[in-house]
Chain A
Amino acid sequence: MNLQIEMISVFATDGSITPLRFRLENEEHCLETVTISQVVSVKPICFAGIDAIQYLCKAVVEEKEKLFEVRYTVKTHRWTLFRVVY
């Protein structure tokens, strides 16, 4: 999957980052906004030496609950939607 997304997030005073709401372009080239209802897990990852933070987040999309894996890449300051778990 691995889509570049726009994200609104909280950068807390302790340095932690919490994603709140993201926006992506769907197949019909329309912007779709997803509001995160719960961050299930946060984990620093370093695959192939690239520092990133992995978030598993729940959100309700079209009245269905979904679990997303989004990632924040530390060096490039980019958010990506890595996959939709369910």
Chain B
Amino acid sequence: MDKVIFHVDVNSAFLSWSAAYRVRVLGEKLDLRDVPSAVAGSRESRQGVILAKSTSAKKCGVKTGEPIFQAQQKCPNLIIVPPDYGLYVEASRHLTALLRQVAPVVEQYSIDEAWVDMTGTEGLYGSPVAAAEMLRQRIYDEFGFTVNIGVSSNKLLAKMAGEFEKPNKVHTLFPWEIEDKLWPLPVRELFMVGSATERKLHLLGIDTIGQLAHADPAVLRQKLHKPGVDLWHSANGRYSCTLIPRPPENKGYGNATTLPADVVDAPSAYRILLSLCETVGMRMRRDQKSARCLAVSLRTNQFYTFAHQMTLPNATDSTEEIFRYACRIFDEAWDGTTPLRQLGVHATRLEESGMRQYDLFAVVSAEQYEKKAALDNAVDDLRGKYGEGILRRARFVGEKVVLAGGLSKERRTGITKPV
């Protein structure tokens, strides 16, 4: 039996949720969805980028991720509202709960997107399109926000169908509709094609998904390796992945932070790196993982981004060890003068913690290492029990940030990743 998969995507989620709250709960007359508007972070901390925009703001050319001032240049009467993460979490939780009520298997892909396996529900809800219409209407009636539902026989096609005309619509993209609906689209629209892949495909003379579908898989393999062949299958509507009701394990742990003011000296940069290493280390220890590879990423005040990485002699989850290597990588990567606006620390090539090959020539002895590991765990426990501000390194005395990067407490939703 053919599968029936829905892809449910909240239309400009943060904005829709804020708008639904203002209209349906606060009783405001103005619906943000009808005017040029956007949800954006705070301007003072320089994290003021557009997080979501309304349809009419989109028509003015406002893009998600661009700074507020840039958006306001394009659209002078843009209404900007601050994000309310508590509200978004509640809205997302209720949406997922409803989907789980309706369907047996639900995979939450992000805070505002989910795949729903509707196979075998024809007897309950009728044809897939009728079921999708019912679900779309029910979400609107109960929660007051709109969704797009893509209907197909696998996850990829359902997602692609969900990206068609918005808002508040149901679209189908069954395998027999690929030629008409999917192939004329630019190749960038295909799931998993980013700007880098798009550039490579353009060099091969591939501009549309149809051209990719008809390309020679051998050439794609040669130029783009295995992902190239996967994309070729995707363009032909073949995608075998089943729904994953639980999120998969992390492949790496990384945190980055945009600084309130540019950093121009090494000691300040070290301090920020340390606060990032604290966060990364804490997260790795919580999941009992150690990393063998460490990378530091830098973004200059000119928005030029680069990264540098090294393989560690031993897998580690110790904050101090991560910090020591992070500083070494940073020194190699930075010229010492360019102002930096963002720093990041990323740990990859994970292994299960618990075993360690001690190094004869290591800076810290095995005994010291064990002690430091116990200390790290004690600090984690204390922070878990009494809050993150309970303990701080002497280096951070008088500073606001002890653990940098990641989401602020109210934004840690636990929806796609554990809190």
- A: residues with CB less than 8 A from B are 1-2, 45-50, 52, 82-83
Contact = CB atoms under 8 A, between A and B. Distances in A.
B94 A49 contact: yes
Contacts of A83: 27
B17 A48 contact: yes
A1 B144 CA distance: 18
A48 B24 contact: yes
B94 A46 contact: yes
A71 to B, nearest CB: 8
A33 to B, nearest CB: 22
Contacts of A2: 25-28
B96 to A, nearest CB: 10
B253 interface: no
Interface string B219-260: 000000000000000000000000000000000000000000
17 contacts: A1-B27, A2-B25, A46-B94, A46-B143, A47-B25, A47-B142, A47-B144, A48-B17, A48-B20, A48-B87, A48-B90, A48-B91, A48-B143, A48-B145, A49-B93, A49-B143, A50-B87
Q: How large is the interface on B (under 10, 10 to 19, 20 to 34, 35 or more residues)?
A: 10 to 19
A47 B24 contact: yes
Contacts of B90: 48-50
A47 B27 contact: no
B275 interface: no
A45 B145 CA distance: 13
A46 B142 CA distance: 6
Contacts of B17: 48-49
B95 interface: yes
Contact of A49 (B26, B27, B28, B95): B95
Contacts of B142: 45-47
A74 to B, nearest CB: 11
A52 B90 CA distance: 13
Interface string B15-53: 001001100111110000000000000000000000000
B24 A49 contact: no
Which residue of B28, B90, B93, B95 has the most chain A CB atoms within 10 A of its CB atom? Answer: B90
